[in-house]
Amino acid sequence: MGQVINNIFARSFRSLSRGRNVSGYLMIAPYLLHLVIFLGYPLVFAFVLVFHRWDIITPMEFAGLKNLTRLIHDDLFFKALLNTGFFLSIHIPLQIITALFFADLLNKKLKGQDFFRTIYFLPVVVSGVVVAILFSQLFAFENGYINGIITALGGERVPWLVSPQWAMPSIAIIVTWKNVGFYIILFLAGMQNIPASLYEVASLEGATTWQRWTRVTIPLLNPTMVTVIVLSTIGGFSLFIEPYMLTGGGPLNSTLSAVLYIYNQAFYFNHMGYAAALGFAFACIIFTIVFLQKRFVTKDMYS
């Protein structure tokens, strides 16, 4: 093994010394530097931090496994994980159903199709902070626009962001609204790849609209579906801006996401070592779930 590595290095140095590929190396140098400085170094540094106590401003102290021991006994971290899971369980199905519905509409030859495609994609490019401010007005309990409409129609006000039961579903609605445009585009691309002849055959065989949808469209969208599920899972795990801006993790920690909790530990309380331990634990959980998802969902979908 050592010999192989030595050979690789020797070859690289020889080719460098001969001037071959110098331009190539220079070309990739900025990205390589970026990768090492902004990804490689922080990753290694964060791993070192897991075993230290560090408040950023004073020298770090070796803490052994204390951060990990604390993590195991931290009820709030487990609550944050459960909250994130609850969010995903609402967000992912909602995202898929909404995106499929609108993608199907846009796939039909309707007037103003381009206009609607742009409109649906617009929230994706709007800053998350702006979206949060917008929804803080829409979802306000006493004087919000949506509750205004509900009460005008004779209904009761909904405690969107101020009830522990409603807050996380409300956040899931907001995140779905913001991201659905991206997934509409993915599904639309998938739908446009389905040969029209398949629908013609299904019609000739007497298939209803529902049957064409369930027997042709959905099965042939499976590869896109896998992509959408994996991307929304990874994106959903990083839930931060909406609870940070709208609820601060409340009410009663019901919207405290794992990332928000890690952020609070790191930047509110300066527990960098503990935050690093939480970060690594959370990364392991995401990795495991996405791995299982890829293994089982992909297998099921393609079969």
Q: Which is nearer to another protein, 249 or 279 (CB)?
A: 249
Report the SS3 class of residue 109: coil
Binding mask 138-157 for another protein (x = CB under 8 A): --xxxxx------x-----x
Q: Which of 40, 42, 64, 164 binds another protein (CB under 8 A)?
A: 164
Report the SS3 class of residue 254: coil
Footprint of another protein on 208-227 (CB under 8 A): none
Q: Which is nearer to another protein, 85 or 159 (CB)?
A: 159
Instruction: Identify the burial level of 136 via C-beta atoms within 10 angstroms of its C-beta, where 0-12 means exposed, 13-18 middle and 19 or more buried.
Output: middle
Helix axes 41-49, 272-292, angle to 10 degrees: 110
Q: Which of 1, 5, 26, 196 binds another protein (CB under 8 A)?
A: 26
Report the SS3 class of residue 62: strand
Calculate the CA 136 to chain-centre distance.
Answer: 21
Binding mask 34-63 for another protein (x = CB under 8 A): ---------------------xxxx-----
**What is the smallest separation between the CB atom of 179 and another protein, expressed in angstroms?**
24
Amino acid residing at 260:
L
The radius of gyration computed from the CA coordinates of the chain, to the nearest angstrom, equals 25
User: Cα(213)–Cα(275) distance, rounded to whole angstroms?
Assistant: 47
Footprint of another protein on 238-277 (CB under 8 A): 247-253, 264, 267-270
Which parts of this chain interact with another protein (CB under 8 A)? 19-20, 22-24, 26-27, 29, 55-58, 70, 136-137, 140-144, 151, 157, 159, 162, 164, 247-253, 264, 267-270
